[in-house]
Structure 1
Amino acid sequence: MTTKEKTINKVLLDKDLSLKTIAEKLSQATENSGVLLYTSFLEGLGNKNSDIDVYVFLEDEQNFKNRNMRRYGNCLGIEVIRVGEIELDVEYWSSNAVEELIGNLINTRGLIGSYEELKLLLRIYHGFFIDNNEVSKKLLYLLETSNFIELITKRISLEARSYYDDGLKMFEVGEYNLALDCARRALWECASLLNAINGKPNLKSKWISKIYIDNKGFGNQELLERYINLQIYSTINKQNLSTVILDMFSLIQDMLNSTVFQ
């Protein structure tokens, strides 16, 4: 039994669930579908309130019958299933849509891709497929041969620099509140970038600071302490607002510069 399977089985046991009962509730799944379970525990994160998310990858989009489900982007539809006392979110995708997403990421060298869609790729990478069939093997092979972690890291870098540039522009015209928002977002993305460079990419915003802090800034104590003091525990008022923003800009620059030597 793999580490992933042990983790999934433990999480399911704690919630009084089983792989079989979940599979039986999937209204649009076919015999050849790739059914993936994801929980933050698979990345060494999670807590007692962490959900289990279910993704169904269809071999052929024509197999998807219910077009009235809630959806986003290229997702075919989202349904909520009840298994015992637990409600689970289920997303349906065609395997071709995922293949296209990976292809676009490769062809643009990480320049495009919404975070929601890129998060899907990370969940496929970290998640657990119930069955080892043609769909699941194909998706995992595409990820393993695409260098997608490096491409997602580049995408995060672009996001960090974009927020930093916007923050500077807002600061220059005296829009300090907007500059502060941009600086905070840029710092978040900088931490996410360092996480990714050090092998722990995660696009779920609530985990970014935890990963960075729990890993002690990946050895750079000085940057870590500045991040904690400015992003987590800073006290900001009208009198020190511009000073704090400038300190944030300085930290953003130093965090971005530190990635050059990674």
Structure 2
Amino acid sequence: MSEPLLKIQHLNKTFQSNKGSVQALHNIQLHVKEGEFITVIGPSGCGKSTLLKIIAGLDVQYSGDVHLGGQPIKGPGIDKGFIFQEPRLFPWLTVEKNIAADLSLRDPNVRKKVDELIELVRLEGFQKSFPRELSGGMAQRVAIARALLRNPKVLLLDEPFGALDAFTRTHMQEVLIDIWQKNKTTMIFVTHDIDEAIYLGNRVVILKPRPGAIRNIVSIDLPIPRKKTTTSFQELRLKVLSEFEKIEELELVDSSGI
């Protein structure tokens, strides 16, 4: 059996505040294979974004082991792509220059890669457009293309479709699945939406809060393309919902002091 691409073992994260120390993550253990699409879901405050930032190398103040490709993660790098909740494009640059970022389009290899990514994220014809001329979904596609430019080992997505309307969000889910199937990039996607987590993921990691810990991991063995109206999809939805109900019951017990 091959080694997992991402290996997280006994990960603990504590924040310091005026009221003392607050544990954000407790004993997280997760192995992700190369080419997997993992979705992470849980109540607000369960540490989803914190976990993503640690994998990205944006937060290195923790205990435990986090390895990518057999190497400990010591900071940010081109082997990790990160998509934020908003696109964060440079408003003075065109689509193609935003994707190229600090690389020159005069380099034929960069030019070729940017053109391939524009086609991959379905933005043909918008190469010369500026961010102000794009819809929210199109802007996020530019951000995804930019993150894929250097062929990262893992693409980390922190609720990238949360601000989009329902129609655009559904379309972007289809675009992302298409990108994943064609590019085979390992993806870890944080969301608050249960349907989105099931629709996108090979596995759904369910976190519980205070402190953030893995409650359960649900495997999604549905063929692609997936339909949210099928009986099998709804059965998985009920399974994930039942985990949330158990989390709420535990929180009620904790808050009551029983």
TM range (shorter): under 0.3
Q: Find the structure with the greater CA-based Rg.
A: 1
Q: TM-score, normalised by structure 2?
A: 0.28
TM superposition score normalised by structure 1? 0.27
Between Structure 1 and Structure 2, which shows a larger proportion of helix residues? 1
Higher relative contact order (CA 8 A, sep 6+): 2
